[in-house]
Chains A and B, each alone.
Chain A
Amino acid sequence: EIVLTQSPGTLSLSPGERATLSCRASQSVTGSYLAWYQQKPGQAPRLLIFGASSRATGIPDRFSGSGSGTDFTLTISRLEPEDFAVYYCQYYGDSPWTFGQGTKVEIK
């Protein structure tokens, strides 16, 4: 099983600032089967990034993903008010599909 560890647990930033979220895998993620999701309170998760760096349909270009092997990063270039939420990384290569514990991006 691939265990995903996200850091930091909470990121306190102001609108307009840059957010850098980390996701580290316990073993190499083959095929770059790494996704990022955004979840707001009371809502279902929303797919942001798949294949480590490809934006999903309709996702603004201020969201970008990078990384390979065991280290992955989600970057939000300039935080908009609607970006304050919890972000999860996910391994989706095979069973068991796993999620990181989440990073909360909160308003400073």
Chain B
Amino acid sequence: QVQLVESGGGVVQPGGSLRLSCAASGFTFSTYGMHWVRQAPGKGLEWVAVISYDGSIKKYGDSVKGRFTISRDSPKNTMYLQMNSLRAEDTAVYYCAKKSEGGTVAAAFDYWGQGTLVTVSS
């Protein structure tokens, strides 16, 4: 069965860096685009970034553009989110999510990880 497991969250000071990982299993990772979505405490969902199935296309939300970098290592079935210049407003649970369709077609998110909490505080 499909499993997505995030890791790497924790407490970091403002201006600091953190790298999140999303380990995937139960499907052919190299054929699906993947997303990061975050949720601040008590708030709604915010899309963060996407990477295409082959890693050639990467897009970011305006609030993280220039600070966050998404990447993937298909042989390791893992996606990453490198977060630099962290701010208090980046505090959130970060989820990785799988596209429901392979390739580049538009698709909803059919599987989500359990999330990893990032807290930016001095």
Which chain A residue has the least Cβ–Cβ distance from B101? A50
Task: Kindly state the interface size class of chain B when it binds its partner.
Answer: 20 to 34
Residue contact A96 to B47, C-beta cutoff 8 Å: yes
Residue contact A92 to B106, C-beta cutoff 8 Å: yes
Q: Determine the distance from Cα of A94 to Cα of B108 in the docked complex, in whole angstroms.
A: 11
Residue contact B100 to A47, C-beta cutoff 8 Å: yes
Q: In the assembled complex, which residues on chain A have CB atoms less than 8 Å from the CB atom of B47?
A: 96-99
User: For residues 29 through 47 of chain A, which have their beta carbon under 8 Å from a beta carbon of chain B?
Assistant: 31, 33, 35, 37, 39, 43-47
Contact among A39, A44, A94, A97 for B113, CB-based, below 8 A? A44
Question: Within the complex, what minimum Cβ distance (angstroms) separates B113 from chain A?
Answer: 7
Question: Within the complex, what minimum Cβ distance (angstroms) separates A42 from chain B?
Answer: 9
Chain A: residues with Cβ within 8 Å of the partner, total of 27
Contact among A39, A43, A90, A98 for B108, CB-based, below 8 A? A90
Residue contact A44 to B110, C-beta cutoff 8 Å: no
Residue contact B100 to A93, C-beta cutoff 8 Å: no
Given A44-B95, A97-B50: A92 and B114 interface contact (C-beta under 8 Å):
no
Residue contact B44 to A92, C-beta cutoff 8 Å: no
Q: Is A95 an interface residue (CB 8 A)?
A: yes
Q: Is B112 an interface residue (CB 8 A)?
A: yes
Given A44-B95, A45-B112: A33 and B45 interface contact (C-beta under 8 Å):
no
List the interface of chain A (C-beta within 8 A of B). 31, 33, 35, 37, 39, 43-47, 50-51, 56-57, 88, 90, 92-102
